[in-house]
Amino acid sequence: MNSSVDPAKAAHQAARHPWFERLARLGYVANGILHATMGVLAAVVATGGQAQADQSGAMRALSAQPFGIVLLWICAIGALVLGLWSLAQMLLPEKELRDRLKFSGTGIVFLAVGFTFTRFALGDPSDSGETATSLSGELMKSVAGRAALIVFGAVLLVMAGYYIYKGVSKKFLDDLHGSSRNEISSAIRYSGMIGYPAKGLVLGALGLLFIVSTLQGDPEEASGIDGALKAVRDQTFGSVALAIIAAGLIVYALYLFLRARYDRMD
């Protein structure tokens, strides 16, 4: 009796296992919690309060809540599983190149987010703003490094444009399967139409911050999302603009919660 197992077939079955997919959906919940918290912190900054409105600040705020460590672990598991699930989908033979690139990008991003959640859950937090400033300072010491920072900023601007386009054009609906309940369908549509452009504005501000700080040779300005949002606040009518972005991030979080349930996962 031949009991050997085809590794490729076993990997395919694991990648398509229903429970793997269900756990992966938790990653969108984790992302929603992260963006909702960032939105609240951005609102605090917009109203003149002191807060760190980026991933590190959001995770630090979550850890300070009752059962915060438990919540961080749940978010870490969800993000890591979604990252692994995405990479597993990338390896499926029936996937086209475009899908492979999409899944590889999603996998890398969520694994990185998952590891960051894990560090905070273990009591070993990092500061994304300080990391960005330190890395930018090293890169600005060389011509190649400065060029890399400008290219990175340009990539963020392209991503910002894509997010805004995806929200305005409702292309995000292609990622989802429909709901038979009109109120749910409307919530998905409007939260995506508002949330995606808000996320795009954050990425755009971050991209501009990297480009301007590099051209000025000032790594202290390249302080990540928190620095980008505070730069928005410091402009004329910046507090109003930041308040709108903060509200948009919270709405984007609502979209991510709904996406956890209605994403096509293919």
Among 4-8, 135-139, 188-192, 246-250, the range scoring the smallest mean pLDDT is: 4-8
pLDDT in tens, 40-91: 999 999 999 999 999 999 999 999 998 999 999 999 999 999 999 999 888 8
This prediction has a pTM of 0.88
Give me the pLDDT at residue 1, please: 45
Kindly state the average pLDDT of the residues 103-123. 93
Per residue in 194-216, pLDDT (tens digit) is 999 999 999 999 999 989 989 98
pLDDT computed for residue 178 by the predictor = 66
Cβ neighbours of residue 249 closer than 8 Å, sequence gap 6 or more? 35, 36, 38, 39, 42, 195, 198, 199, 202
Question: From CA 30, how far away is CA 168, in angstroms rounded?
Answer: 25
